[in-house]
Amino acid sequence: MFLFKFFYNIRLKAIKSSSIIINSNPFSGPFGIKQIKQAQKNRKMNQGWFIRNYFKLKTKLSNEEFKQLAEDLGFGFSDLMEIERKLKNAGF
């Protein structure tokens, strides 16, 4: 459990940073277009990690933490329902 929390906290910081950068205005905000493009790449990679570990994260995190993580990754409620349905149909 300790190792999971350690790596989760590192990834969570990266996800939150990417979320802040992506949501900023590239023309008047503190981040440039290059940083926003890199944050979008990171978000896409972290979305893959989230989907691969969906059920593990759902059981280990509180509902509030899970929802916040999904929101930071750009997933809405309907997206989560669709991910869960697809994973269950695939046998995960």
The pLDDT, as a whole number, for residue 26 is 81
In a domain, 14, yes or no: yes
In a domain, 13, yes or no: yes
In a domain, 45, yes or no: yes
The pLDDT, as a whole number, for residue 44 is 96
Total domains in the fold of the chain: 1
- Angle in degrees, CA 74, 46, 6, rounded to 5: 115
Are 74 and 55 in contact by the 8 Å Cβ rule? The answer is: no
User: Could you read off the pLDDT tens digit of each residue along the chain, which spans 92 residues?
Assistant: 677 778 888 999 999 999 999 988 888 888 888 999 999 999 999 999 999 999 999 998 899 999 999 999 999 999 999 999 999 998 87
Strand ranges (E), the chain = none
In a domain, 40, yes or no: yes
In a domain, 38, yes or no: yes
Domain that residue 84 falls in: 2-21+31-90
In a domain, 26, yes or no: no
In a domain, 83, yes or no: yes
